[in-house]
A = this chain, B = another copy of it.
């Protein structure tokens, strides 16, 4: 078995990571069963330890892979157009990524909330790039007068990610009933930008105004 190496090994690793992602998604970090991962992936118990030092490291790797994919997607989102459009595009990219590995991201969110010394820093580290991209967009929005200026963009970026997360949670928690995955980007951005308050009299209360128009108050 020795000399095929490299490609094969990478494949096995990938398969283990995928299986692990599913296992973590289904059972959480603690509940995941290392043996089950190996066997499900079609290998023997011990094999997993040829690839990952421990369950926690495996989890971290799974997380890293997921986040890398997400960042890639995020980065390919066009940063032009109005802030609203950008945010919707980012949220849509987010939804697309998460849709692919829904259960896995449930675990990410869940573990993020555990605030455990072992996992929290890992997760935060992996999430940083997202927030940075969002913040960038918001900063542009501030310059354009589309974003309120009485709060630091860093806080607002976190808030946006948080709103997205909340909607996912409600999506998951409702068994997908509401909000549906398709609704999430629009609703998140609307909620984030406009809030739930009734708009004071204005011609087109919600929805898309062209960027140019917006610029001139």
Contact = CB atoms under 8 A, between A and B. Distances in A.
Interface of A: 2, 28, 30-31, 46, 84, 106, 109-110, 112-116, 120, 124, 138, 145-151, 155-156, 158-160, 162-163, 165-167, 169-170, 172-173, 178-179, 190-203, 205-206, 214, 217
A116 to B, nearest CB: 8
A198 to B, nearest CB: 5
Contact of A170 (B2, B120, B158): B158
A169 B173 contact: no
* Residue from A28, A170, A191 having most chain B Cβ neighbours under 10 A: A191
Contact of A112 (B112, B115, B150, B173): B173
A162 B172 contact: no
B162 A166 contact: yes
Contacts of A193: 195-197
A128 B190 CA distance: 25
A63 to B, nearest CB: 15
A185 to B, nearest CB: 15
Given A148-B199, A198-B217, A200-B203, 15 more contacts: A30-B30, A84-B197, A106-B114, A110-B113, A115-B173, A138-B196, A146-B197, A150-B206, A159-B167, A159-B196, A160-B196, A162-B170, A194-B195, A198-B214, A201-B202
Contacts of A106: 113-115
Given A110-B110, A162-B163, A202-B202, A156 B196 contact: yes
A144 to B, nearest CB: 9
Given A115-B172, A163-B163, A147 B217 contact: no
Nearest 7 pairs of A and B residues by beta carbon: A162-B166, A193-B197, A195-B195, A110-B113, A194-B195, A200-B202, A193-B195
A31 to B, nearest CB: 7
A79 to B, nearest CB: 18
A198 B115 contact: no
A138 B158 CA distance: 25
Contact of A28 (B114, B159, B179, B217): B114
